[in-house]
């Protein structure tokens, strides 16, 4: 079967600290005419090529090659900065590759960033028709799907409102509805689904499954490895712009957890962490996982675990720390934050320090866990710094019940010690008759009267 997507030696290079100047039409024409001549002279002069390579730059993608068959649902995983979003932008023809080539055989629908492909001054209705036209759909085809898209996006009251007045959630719902309902042969979906609420995400994942069953090709980027495994038939792992693994989702995820989420011996530097989220300031500098004995990459079930975060802020703050504990496959187990407890809300502002979150009797089953960190200022509840996959740690088994037995890990990641009791039934309240209910009531009444 001939592939519907073919990627050969793909590379994308970005210069650091330089902007490409806008050119006039005359300059563009001259550039086009002169390009072949410069290509020939470049073969005899190495100076110009060496000068360009010496400029500060970074390769977002490098020597990337793979094929996708029609009807395949391909998951793309990797840490932040591994090149996932850049790849989808090239496949969507939003940006051009520096090296290599891409062959696409079919219409492409994409959902990459909030608002991508929408004109803010146009209404939701107008943007639906505009997006459909850009994808090559006839007006009659768009009209046939219009009501279904509006219902899916849940924007009935606002369909004739300019989208610049939409919330981010409304924007994403409409963008996904357009991308999924206009029947593209290839659908590209980035992590943007994380913007919506849980109900919307569930609806979108169900729609992606429907699209896949219809034989269309889907490329899906997500940090939620459980979703990748349940939704995708195959997956690739990117690291620093290169292809590290390809196979079933289980194979790619196993390589990801082995090479990327290895235990950090209980400590990790956050100054240049690749998991730092866009828009964050570099405030959190380091993190440590500690038990009663000190810094530890492995902690016992039921032990008291502390996470200590070193921070340096550009101005005095009252730090508010939040953290999310996830399984190594990205499933969120629980979240804690001082935003709700406000235990440090009245402390004097400081520019540096160590903020500690203590979790008594950590309720986790044995396994490896990943921590997302988030820091804000109590003064104005402004988010300062967010780092995903900041540190990992291992929970090791312990005989907490004194029986030598533990539940199977398949029962879930949370462990909790419950209490059990047994009491004899009360004879006056437990009398039941298999016959008529009224007769039973009379029988109980007679017992009480005789007593």
pLDDT digits (tens, 9 = 90+) for 43-72: 444 444 444 555 678 899 999 999 999 989
Alpha-carbon distance of 428 to 445, in angstroms, equals 10
Residue 213 forms part of a structural domain: yes
Residue 165 forms part of a structural domain: yes
Least confident of 23-32, 255-264, 279-288: 23-32
Alpha-carbon distance of 425 to 68, in angstroms, equals 65
Residue 88 forms part of a structural domain: yes
Burial of residue 423 (CB within 10 Å: 0-12, 13-18, 19+) is: exposed
Same domain, 226 and 311: no
* Single pTM value for the model: 0.62
Domain stop point among 259, 292, 315: 259
Q: Which of 22-31, 52-61, 113-122, 333-342 has the highest mean pLDDT?
A: 333-342
Q: Is 438 helix (H, G, I), strand (E, B) or coil?
A: helix
Alpha-carbon distance of 382 to 384, in angstroms, equals 6
Query: Residue 382: what are its φ and ψ, rounded to 5°?
Result: -90, 125
Residue 417 forms part of a structural domain: no
Same domain, 87 and 236: yes
Q: Is 179 helix (H, G, I), strand (E, B) or coil?
A: helix
Same domain, 208 and 89: yes
The predicted structure's pLDDT at residue 24: 59
Summarised one tens digit per residue, pLDDT across range 380-420 is 877 899 999 999 998 888 878 777 677 777 788 898 888 88
Residue 98 forms part of a structural domain: yes
What is the span of the domain harbouring residue 361? 267-396
The predicted structure's pLDDT at residue 17: 62
Number of domains the chain contains: 4
Same domain, 106 and 235: yes
Question: Average pLDDT for residues 6-26, to the nearest whole number?
Answer: 74
Query: Residue 365: what are its φ and ψ, rounded to 5°?
Result: -75, 160
Average pLDDT of the chain, as a whole number:
82
Tell me the chain's radius of gyration from C-alpha atoms: 29
Residue 381: give its domain's CATH number.
2.70.50.60
- Please report the DSSP string for 54-120 in residue order: HS-EEEEEEEEEEEE-TT-EEEEE--TTSSHHHHHHHHTTSS--SEEEEEE-S-EEEE-STTTT--T
CB-CB neighbours of 13 under 10 Å: 17
The model's confidence at residue 441, banded by pLDDT at 50, 70 and 90, is very low
Summarised one tens digit per residue, pLDDT across range 362-384 is 999 988 899 999 999 998 877 89
Residue 407 forms part of a structural domain: no
Least confident of 84-88, 361-365, 430-434: 430-434
Same domain, 41 and 74: no
Q: What is the DSSP letter of 163?
A: G
Query: Residue 312: what are its φ and ψ, rounded to 5°?
Result: -140, 115
Same domain, 313 and 386: yes
Domain stop point among 241, 259, 277: 259
């Amino acid at each position: 079967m001939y592939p519907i997507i073919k990627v050969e030696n793909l590379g994308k290079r970005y210069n650091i600290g330089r902007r490409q100047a806008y050119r006039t039409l005359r300059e563009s024409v001259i550039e086009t005419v002169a390009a072949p001549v410069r290509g020939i002279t470049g073969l005899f002069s190495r100076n110009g090529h060496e000068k360009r390579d010496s400029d500060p730059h970074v390769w977002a993608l490098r020597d990337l090659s793979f094929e996708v068959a029609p009807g395949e649902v391909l998951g793309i995983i990797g840490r932040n900065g591994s090149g996932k979003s850049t790849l989808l932008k090239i496949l969507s023809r939003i940006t051009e590759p520096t090296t290599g080539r891409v062959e696409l055989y079919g219409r492409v629908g994409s959902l990459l960033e909030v608002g991508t492909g929408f004109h803010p001054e146009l209404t939701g209705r107008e943007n639906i028709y505009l997006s459909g036209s850009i994808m090559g759909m006839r007006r009659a085809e768009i009209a046939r799907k219009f009501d279904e898209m509006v219902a899916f996006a849940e924007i009935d009251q606002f369909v004739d409102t300019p989208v610049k007045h939409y919330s981010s959630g409304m924007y994403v719902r409409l963008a996904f509805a357009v991308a999924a309902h206009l029947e593209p042969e290839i659908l590209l979906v980035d992590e943007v689904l994380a913007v919506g609420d849980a109900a919307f995400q569930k609806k979108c994942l169900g729609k992606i499954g429907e699209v896949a069953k219809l034989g269309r090709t889907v490329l899906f980027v997500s940090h939620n490895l459980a979703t990748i495994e349940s939704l995708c038939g195959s997956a690739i792992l990117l690291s620093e712009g290169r292809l590290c693994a390809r196979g079933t989702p289980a194979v790619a995820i196993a390589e990801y957890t082995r090479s990327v989420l290895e235990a950090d011996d209980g400590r990790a530097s956050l100054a240049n962490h690749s998991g730092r989220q866009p828009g964050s300031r570099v405030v959190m500098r380091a993190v440590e996982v500690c038990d009663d004995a000190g810094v530890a990459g492995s902690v016992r079930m039921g032990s008291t675990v502390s996470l200590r975060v070193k921070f340096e802020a550009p101005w005095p703050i009252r730090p508010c720390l939040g953290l999310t504990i996830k399984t190594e496959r990205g499933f969120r187990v629980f979240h804690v934050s001082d935003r709700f407890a406000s235990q440090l809300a009245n402390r004097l502002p400081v520019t540096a320090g160590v903020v500690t979150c203590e979790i008594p009797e950590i309720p986790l089953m044995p396994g490896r866990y990943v921590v997302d960190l988030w820091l804000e200022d109590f003064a104005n509840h402004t988010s300062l710094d967010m780092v995903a996959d900041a540190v990992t740690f291992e929970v090791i088994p312990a005989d907490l019940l004194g029986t030598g037995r533990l539940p199977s890990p398949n029962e879930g990641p949370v462990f909790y010690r419950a209490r059990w009791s047994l009491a004899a039934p009360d004879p006056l309240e437990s009398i039941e008759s298999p016959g008529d209910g009224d007769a039973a009531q009379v029988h109980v009444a007679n017992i009480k009267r005789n007593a």
